[in-house]
Amino acid sequence: MSEIAKTPQPPYYAVIFTSERTAIENQYKEMADEMVKLASVQPGYLGVESAREGLGITVSYWESLEAIQKWKQNERHLVAQQQGIADWYSSYKTRVCKVERDYGFEKN
């Protein structure tokens, strides 16, 4: 992802997934791309931002805690989570936050 997500006025929720990778590739990029596409069609999905330079950080935005829970339990997402633990990540942390306020700047 190389653009800032277009989110609605708060409140909404953010899931921050921070990870450190192993050296194992084993279809990682393909699965990551699939997860972004799959998440984008889930009810309550608002957007995603992601960066990786050593440490990986992906932030997905959601309308509600219920939407986040349904995404967490998505069958294909569960497969990705299991493979992440088995192969791709040496460590990760997931944080769920309520966005109370946001602001920004965009040069025209």
Mind listing the pLDDT tens digit for each residue in 35-71? Answer: 999 999 999 999 999 998 889 999 999 999 999 999 9
CATH of the domain at 51: 3.30.70.100
pLDDT at 74: 97
Q: Is residue 107 part of a domain?
A: no
The span from the CA of 45 to the CA of 1, in Å, is: 16
Predicted TM-score (pTM) of the model is 0.92
Structural domain includes residue 104: no
Mean pLDDT of all residues belonging to the chain: 95
CA-CA distance, 26 to 81, in Å (whole number)? 14
Q: Is residue 11 part of a domain?
A: no
Is there a domain that residue 1 lies in?
no
Structural domain boundaries, residue 73: 22-99
Residue 55 covered by a domain: yes
Does some domain include residue 35? Answer: yes
Residue 2 binned pLDDT confidence (cut-offs 50, 70, 90): low
How far apart, in whole angstroms, are the C-alpha atoms of residue 90 and residue 51? Answer: 17
